[in-house]
Amino acid sequence: MSQFISVQGILHNITFLDNVETKSVQYFGLWLYTNMAILIDMEDSVIGEIRRGPVRDLFDQTCVVTNYPGSANNWAVGYYTHGTEYYDKLEDNIRRMAEKCSRLHGFLTMHSLGGGTGSGLGTAVLKLLADNYPTVDRLVSCVYPIVMQDVVTAPYNVLLATRELIDYATCVFPIENEALVDICNAQLRKKENIDQINYNISCKPFQDMNSIIANILLHLTSGSRFPGNLNMDMNEIATNLVPYPKLHYILSSVSPVTLSAPTICNIQGRKLIDEIFINAWSRNNQSIKLDPLQTGSMILSAAHIARGNCSVNDLKRNIEKFRKKVTFAKWGTEAMKIGLCSVPPAGHSTSLLCLLNSSSMISLFENIIKQFTRLYKRKAHVYHYTQVCGFEETHFTDCKEIILNLITQYTKLQNQNEINVSRLQIL
């Protein structure tokens, strides 16, 4: 949420949830805020940078969990070894944070799936939340590695973690590093104005990739933090976007893409708003390398969350265009949720987050199976997993079967014919 944080770490406008009291100490007449966050990493280098960085005072130092030397890029080490060792500490930290909330909306977990800590300990925390807070939504933003990843065991970690996400998450918003790289490269090719040219010279790719994810999450939680006539609360996401249990993988795209530097836009008014909607539906703006509008794919449900200078008429006009572009499930042609937040993001007058539950997600799961099979058929590195207490080799095949079953569910819905139900007649 760096859009609202000063260099000194002072949060000037809002906290994550506007009804949560997180003030800690007054500093030169300004209140210093601490985030409702728990930082976890089994390698302390990254968190060490945060502790020494300009936003160090934003985080409660008692809610930081680190270890050395890490999880050895092994899901089993993260899930079973560290998950068991740090269970009590994590449970206590989560409980203390939850008790500070007057109205707990849900949990938002962010982690990668390629390494051992993000995939293993990350999903162990998710299971902990499901066991201790079964009625509270668990929203997951997870990063899938690129095909040519530098972690050789990534296909195992991704498969094992995906099974846990299917079982214990309320909603999953997958993000692919490859998609983020493409979005950043597309921005670098633009030379629309002096701001864009200056940005191209001084850009920081890794920072910008993280900024895209942060921007999506800011939009996702905007209805819980800001006023609006048609605000969409976090708790409404699963209710409106998950028609069947376990089919909770949601495509996300945001427009315009907010990176490090503000971009002057020469388009204004109605044309600007229409352009924002078109870009949000584009494959080039998706957080994973999928095309939700491709021929043959089916939209199970959808949501559009607009912020700033966007009217209800603007939403209606563009949603009608969207309905003509996509194929909805026959039983869910009206499965469209809209949100309208009055406060725009920093640097823009209007923005849009598009969320789609689409059968095109099949491609993601098929790729997971493909990468796993390529490695597992040689039994490569399996020993590193089976030597971990609690892990058995059958876990691999069980996870593969669960993901294949999920693909089957999506495929059945995609091929489902229209259900003809005779209308009641009034005699």
Q: pLDDT grade, residue 209 (50/70/90)?
A: confident
- Reduced to 3 states (helix: H, G, I; strand: E, B; else coil), residue 77 is helix
Rounded CA-CA distance 168/79 in Å is 14
Task: Give the mean model confidence (pLDDT) for residues 222-249.
Answer: 88
Rounded CA-CA distance 347/18 in Å is 21
Q: Mean pLDDT of all residues in the chain?
A: 83
Residues 6+ apart with CB under 8 A from 61: 51
Structure-derived torsion over alpha carbons of residues 138, 291, 361, 394, reported in degrees to the nearest 10: -110
Domains in the chain: ranges and CATH: 209-262+269-377 (3.40.50.1440)
Place of tokens 């091929």: 415
pLDDT score at 231: 84
pLDDT score at 193: 53
Place of tokens 């584009």: 282
The predicted model scores a pTM of 0.86
Report the Cα 18 to chain-centroid distance in Å: 21
pLDDT score at 30: 47
Q: pLDDT grade, residue 346 (50/70/90)?
A: confident
Note the pLDDT tens digit of each residue in 100-149: 888 888 999 999 999 999 999 999 999 999 999 999 999 999 999 987 66
Residue 82, pLDDT > 80, answer yes
Task: Give the mean model confidence (pLDDT) for residues 340-346.
Answer: 88
Residue 1, pLDDT > 50, answer no
Note the pLDDT tens digit of each residue in 23-39: 444 444 444 455 788 99
Task: Give the mean model confidence (pLDDT) for residues 64-71.
Answer: 86
Rounded CA-CA distance 198/178 in Å is 24
- CA angle in degrees (0–180, nearest 5) for 136-142-144: 155
Question: Please, what is the end-to-end C-alpha distance for the chain in angstroms?
Answer: 60
Tell me how far apart the 2 most distant CA atoms of the chain are, in Å.
77
Q: pLDDT grade, residue 40 (50/70/90)?
A: very high
Q: pLDDT grade, residue 331 (50/70/90)?
A: confident
Rounded CA-CA distance 17/105 in Å is 9
